[in-house]
Amino acid sequence: MTGVLGGLLDALPLSYADAVVVVGTAVVGFVAGLLGPLAVLRQRSMFGDAMSHGTLAGVAVAFLVTGAKVPELLLLGAAVSAAVAAFAMLALERTGRLRSDAAIGVVLSVSLTLGIVLLTGISGSGNASQAGLDEYLLGQTAGMVERDIVVALALASVAVVAVGLGFRLLRSATFDPGFTAVAGVRTWVVDAASTGLLALAVVLGVRTVGAILMVALLVAPVVAARQVTSTLAVLMPLSGLVGAASGAVGGLVAGRAELPAGPVIVLLATGLAVLSVVFAPRRGVVAKLARGRARVSR
Amino acid sequence: MSPDDVMIVVIAGLLSTSCAVLGGFLVLRGQALLPDAVSHAVLPGIVLIFLLTGERATLWTVVGATAFGVLCVLGSDWLRRTGVVESDAALALVFPALFSLGILGISRFASGAHIDLDSAIYGDLTFAPLRTVSLFGADVPQSLVVTGLATVAVVALVVVLWRPLQAAAFDPAFAELAGLRGRLIGQVLLVAVAGLAVVAFDSVGAILVITFFVVPASTARLLTARLGTMLVVAALCGWVASIAGHTVAVSADTSIPGTIGLASGALFVLALLFAPRRGLLTRRRATP
């Protein structure tokens, strides 16, 4: 795999360092865009925000347990704590005592403060390799290496395979949870599966764009793609492509202009989303205005 | 406790009071995530004012930051009203974009400036007693003055607008029909939240802002069903969390905002389990 990847990186008309960042951010953007509909279409966009803030605690715990910065283990810690945060939100919602926005807010606050306390503890301990742990809050692409891409590609293929195999189930759970339940599938199984997939996307994205901006990477490509299609089978890959394009172009531009990549990627994706909302052929604001006017003049 | 410690607790307590009071209305209206979005969206405002005036903690900063907070709310509201984007997705689209602009502004034009992202996020609460202003001949921490004024303003606002706020929180349609200007009240509330978020952002950092707006109010929501009682309980939760969190932070030598946030979370979990009528364990014990 590494050989193929090396060939691909060489084949791009870019310097090696640029190529690594472009391919890496493209893969991350693709995964986030592909899985974003699982959150956005169920009106759980801000779930992603709480999950990405939740990763901090997991990264800190993984670091405390292993005592070293092994990227894969930190990723695992992040994934576990993002999933824990997501399940905490689902559980709080199910108790029926809080609305979902309050449940998300509570989980977000608590998991973020827990992460901060743990990170403060780590940086107070004077451990030399802890430097850079809080990059997870704001993201970092400059340090990306081939190994990160391999990990990202592996997780991306897991996501693609899972979506491919479970597509029918995900689709019915997304649009009609009631039907899925009646059809004999336990809703919590589907909830758990889609939450696990989202955790995967969040964990990949957090290293690149940071915990604060991650939610945009999940939501913006979906909003952009949603305006031009209403079929989930088209929406997911299309939104993945929008994410990949934003990631690649953003990573490249940021590298050339010596800007942090996360904000550039997010602004590109948001720009595409707004363009799509305004100019999309049928659902777009302009199209609707034009239709309204045509009807009036008739 | 040393005088500095008392000062930190008082600043945190005052801030938690004003945040809890406004947060109570947000939680009832289903807008609990607005403070999170707004506290991030204000960053470009702070950067812009810094670039224009070279200062980062003046009244103009508050004005500029509040403007961007309001812009965030208006922007997501516009997206929602196009009818093609759900309100949660609209919020999740707008605030990261604004925060991104802020970060780009800092890294492009103000990298040498004192807009320290760390202190914006983690908060300067620990050093708050050290930054003083002279007031009536005595040195008073600037944060204390600012948070004190903000708290008085927020409480006054809520007292003056009690009826319409109450009506709009429970029944927006009735508020509009009864001539209580439900929409206008909603907008006033949002501007107040944005302004307070900015003040709090500077004093205690973004983390505690989000926590103080949402967690004590949600805790109080579990404990009582009456609006007035709920706001008082929420403020009390804020004070208890500030005192407990500060005590733990000092003895364990860790981040003060972090432990205050965790203490609020602990209170919430206690309420969730043991609240007199809505608690998970209380009800289970009552049913069999």
Cross-chain Cβ contact A219/B278 below 8 Å: no
CB atoms within 10 A of CB A175: 12
Give the distance, in angstroms, between the CA of residue A28 and the centroid of all CA atoms in the same chain.
8
Query: Token digits for A253?
Result: 């531009």
Q: Name the closest residue on chain B to residue A286, using Cα atoms.
A: B82
Most confident of A246-260, B119-133, B172-186: A246-260
Instruction: Please give the single-letter amino acid code of residue B207.
Output: I
Most confident of A185-199, B18-32, B182-196: B18-32
Average pLDDT on B3-12 reads 86
Of A217-221, B270-274, B275-279, where does mean pLDDT reach its minimum? B275-279
Provide φ and ψ at B139, rounded to 5°. Answer: -85, 115
Query: pLDDT for A23-68, tens place per residue?
Result: 889 999 999 999 999 889 888 888 888 998 888 889 889 888 887 7
pLDDT higher at A195 or B214:
B214
pLDDT at B95: 92
pLDDT at A271 over 90: yes
pLDDT at A287 over 50: yes
Q: Does B31 touch chain A (CB under 8 A)?
A: yes
Chain A residues in contact with B261 by the CB 8 A cut-off are 109-110, 112-113, 116
Segment holding B271, helix H or strand E: helix B256-274
CA separation, residue B57 to residues B32, B39, B46, B60, B142 (Å): 27, 16, 9, 8, 10
Give the residue from A92, A100, A101 with the most B CB atoms within 10 Å of its CB, the best one to mutate: A101
Average pLDDT on B159-178 reads 81
- Chain A nearest-CA distance from B35, in A, is 9
Strands of B113-189, DSSP E: 132-135, 138-141
pLDDT at A231 over 90: no
Name the 3-class secondary structure at A297: helix
Of A13-17, A123-127, B279-283, where does mean pLDDT reach its minimum? A123-127
pLDDT at B40: 85
Average pLDDT on A256-279 reads 91
Bridge partners (DSSP) listed for residue B139: B134
Name the 3-class secondary structure at A31: helix
Q: Does B211 touch chain A (CB under 8 A)?
A: yes
pLDDT at B285 over 60: no
**Nearest by CB: A40 against B89, B101, B253:** B89
Chain A residues in contact with B221 by the CB 8 A cut-off are 98, 102
* C-alpha distance across the termini of chain A, in Å: 62
Query: pLDDT for B126-161, tens place per residue?
Result: 666 666 766 676 777 777 888 899 999 999 999 998
pLDDT at B190 over 90: no
pLDDT at B22 over 90: yes
Pick from B11, B4, B12, B28: which is nearest to B172 by CA? B28
Most confident of A139-148, B108-117, B143-152: B143-152
Instruction: Name residues 212-241 of chain B within 8 A of A (Cβ).
Output: 213-215, 217-218, 221-222
pLDDT at B123: 57
Name the 3-class secondary structure at B57: coil
Domain residues for the domain of A244 are: 2-297
Computed over every residue of chain A, the mean pLDDT equals 84
Query: Token digits for B73?
Result: 């709310």
Cross-chain Cβ contact A45/B88 below 8 Å: yes
| Count of domains observed in chain A | 1
pLDDT at A170: 81
Pick from A28, A84, A74, A57: which is nearest to A243 by CA? A28
Chain A residues in contact with B93 by the CB 8 A cut-off are 216, 219-220, 223, 270, 273-274
Share of chain A above pLDDT 90, in %: 28
Average pLDDT on A203-210 reads 84
Average pLDDT on A236-264 reads 91
- What is the full DSSP assignment across A206-260? HHHH-TTTHHHHHHHHHHHHHTT---HHHHHHHHHHHHHHHHHHHHHHHHHHT--
In a domain, B65, yes or no: yes
pLDDT at A151: 84
pLDDT at B23 over 50: yes
pLDDT at B288 over 50: no
Provide φ and ψ at B278, rounded to 5°. Answer: -100, 0
Interface predicted TM-score of the whole assembly (ipTM), two decimals: 0.87
pTM of the complete model: 0.86
Of A136-145, A220-229, A255-264, where does mean pLDDT reach its minimum? A136-145
pLDDT higher at B123 or A76:
A76
- Chain B nearest-CA distance from A91, in A, is 12
Cross-chain Cβ contact B93/A114 below 8 Å: no
Q: At what angle do helices B162-170 and B3-29 cross, to 10 degrees?
A: 50
Sign of CA dihedral A265, A269, A274, A275: positive
Q: Does B16 touch chain A (CB under 8 A)?
A: no
Average pLDDT on B36-62 reads 82
Q: Does B25 touch chain A (CB under 8 A)?
A: no
Q: Name the closest residue on chain B to residue A42, using Cα atoms.
A: B86
Most confident of A15-29, B116-130, B273-287: A15-29
Cross-chain Cβ contact B82/A277 below 8 Å: yes
Only one residue has tokens 């998991």, namely A111
Size of interface A-B (CB pairs under 8 A): 178
pLDDT at A236 over 80: yes
Average pLDDT on B42-54 reads 84
- Chain B nearest-CA distance from A27, in A, is 20
Q: Does B97 touch chain A (CB under 8 A)?
A: yes
Residue A128: pLDDT band with limits 50, 70, 90? very low
Domain residues for the domain of B24 are: 3-109+146-286
Average pLDDT on B16-22 reads 93
Give the C-alpha separation, B243 to B224, whole Å: 23
Pick from B77, B265, B167, B58: which is nearest to A50 by CA? B265
pLDDT at A295: 66
pLDDT at B279: 78
Pick from B113, B99, B112, B103: which is nearest to B55 by CA? B113
In a domain, B27, yes or no: yes
Average pLDDT on A219-223 reads 94
CATH number where B56 lies = 1.10.3470.10
In a domain, B265, yes or no: yes
In a domain, B124, yes or no: no
CATH number where A14 lies = 1.10.3470.10
| Count of domains observed in chain B | 1
Give the C-alpha separation, A254 to A109, whole Å: 30
pLDDT at A5 over 90: no
**Nearest by CB: A215 against B92, B255, B261:** B92
